[in-house]
Amino acid sequence: MADLVGDLIAPSVLAEHEPGGDVEPSGSCEVRGTPVRPWRAFADRMRAQAGDEASDGDANPNQFEIEVVAPPRGRLRGLGRFENNLSRKGIFELRPPRAELLGQVERQDLVGNTTLNFTMGALGVMEMDMVAWIMGQWQRDYPTVSFSLRECARSFGRSWKGKLGGDIKDSLRRIKGVMITGRVWDAESRRHVTKHFGIFEEVTIIEERQAEHGPATSPATITVSLSPWLLAQLNAGQYSDFDWDGYKRRLQSGYERRLFLLLESQEGDDEGTRYRVRIDPKLGDSLGDPDAERNSSRFRERLRRAGTGICTTHPEYLGITVKAGERRGEYWLQVERSDRWLPNKLARRRSRLAGAA
- pLDDT by residue (tens digit) across 153-166? 899 988 777 688 88
Looking at every residue in the chain, the average pLDDT score rounds to 83
Asked whether the beta carbons of 224 and 144 are under 8 A apart, the reply is yes
Of residues 101 and 116, more confidently modeled: 116
Report the amino acid identity of residue 105: V
Strand pairing partners for 205?
222
Phi and psi, residue 137, nearest 5°? -85, -10
The predicted pLDDT at position 63 comes to: 53
The predicted pLDDT at position 164 comes to: 84
- pLDDT by residue (tens digit) across 204-253? 999 877 666 666 667 689 999 999 999 999 999 999 999 999 999 999 99
| Dist. CA 311–CA 335, nearest whole Å | 10
- pLDDT by residue (tens digit) across 253-277? 999 999 999 999 999 999 999 999 9
Pairing of the two strands 63-67 and 331-337: unpaired
pLDDT tier for residue 7 given thresholds of 50, 70 and 90 = very low
Phi and psi, residue 163, nearest 5°? -65, -40
On the question of pLDDT at 6 being above 70, the answer is no
On the question of pLDDT at 172 being above 90, the answer is yes
On the question of pLDDT at 3 being above 90, the answer is no
